A and B are shown apart, each in its own frame.
Chain A
Amino acid sequence: MWEAVGHFFTSLFSPENPLWLYCPLCAVVAVVYKATKFDEPKQIALAALHFFISVTLGVLVLGFILYAVSKVL
């Protein structure tokens, strides 16, 4: 189990994997989306941070589930 988790994160941050480019993309989506909902800069920043963390955690969990399924099948 822990070996699979380690391999998952190693492959995620390997130099040939461009998945790190997901981070700026998600950050821009979070700020633009929340800026359409809120007016105050502080509210926008907090809501965008919450959105970014939620989506990133969700994508990581989904990615790990798909990775585990691909290893089992």
Chain B
Amino acid sequence: MSPQGTQYRSPVMALVLGWVIPGAGHAYAGRWGKAVLFAVLIIGLLVAGFALGGGTNIQPNEWWFGAQLGAGGPLLALTPISQYLMVHGEPDYADPVREMGTLYTAIAGLLNLLVMMDAYVKLAYPSIEGPGKGRDASRAIPERAREGA
């Protein structure tokens, strides 16, 4: 799951692609394994939440939409469907399962923001190693400081 090749890849492009399709930022960075993992989990969570809410829980006029918006492209594809179902159906606002579905979609959006930032940071600061490499990222020593020591 490490980056392939040495050609320059724009961190901003990774950020934008990650918003359009969850996981695409990591695919752009050459991390295909993580890209597939994030795409399956985030789109799966969004669709599961949409289904639990009876397809009526993605509404641009609700506060939840601010968090849901993080899921990007898939969310924008589901929004008109949700609005159509809202007009032609009768959503049960008191249904706790619908509430749980709304929470699923909001968490999917927030998780995608985290994944987008991860793709950005991995390209913008490639020298920072995470705890998986045996060192805490917050304690990573910058290249310049290491050379000066």
Contact = CB atoms under 8 A, between A and B. Distances in A.
A35 B34 contact: yes
Interface string B103-114: 110010001001
- Tell me the interface secondary structure of chain B in the complex: helix
A6 interface: no
Contacts of A11: none
Given A32-B114, A33-B114, A21 B52 contact: yes
B130 A25 contact: no
Nearest to A17: B96
- Tell me the interface secondary structure of chain A in the complex: helix
Interface of B: 1-2, 33-34, 37-38, 41-42, 44-45, 48, 52, 96-97, 100, 103-104, 107, 111, 114-115, 118, 130-133, 137
